[in-house]
Amino acid sequence: MKYEINFTPKAEGDLGYFKAYEQRNIVAAISSFLTTDAHIETKKRKRLEPNQISPWELKQDKYRIFFDIIDTTVDILAIGYKDHNDLYIQGRKVSL
């Protein structure tokens, strides 16, 4: 199944926090893993327990892309990175 990708304004700001080569890596992961079969859990894509950020997570290296699926649209809600067991979004530590 094909999905349309939609960045929320917050996710666009989160993406802008990263350096250009990191942004390319993140956008490439979104294109590769979320444009088709985004609703199927894999090693990189998983459904999260209820939290205030998002119902789904895509892992790409140290980066975490948080998204939701509504019909045939994938909404990118937030983008962050992991440092050990800590999650950071725009340089601020957050918890799920």
pLDDT of residue 1: 87
Distance CA 65, CA 94 (A): 14
Taking the whole predicted model, whether its pTM rises above 0.85 is answered as: yes
Q: Looking at the 3D structure of the chain, how many domains does it have?
A: 1
Would you write out the chain's pLDDT as a tens digit for each of its 96 residues?
899 999 999 999 999 999 999 999 999 999 999 999 999 999 999 999 999 999 999 999 999 999 999 999 999 999 999 999 999 999 999 988
User: Which residue, chain included where needed, has tokens 């440092």?
Assistant: 83
pLDDT of residue 44: 96
Look up the domain containing 17 and give its range.
4-94
Using alpha carbons, select from 2, 1, 29, 8 the residue that is nearest to residue 75: 8
Packing angle of the helix pair 9-17, 20-34 (nearest 10 deg): 130
- CATH number for the domain spanning 56: value is 3.30.2310.20
Is residue 6 within 8 Å of 41, Cβ to Cβ?
A: no
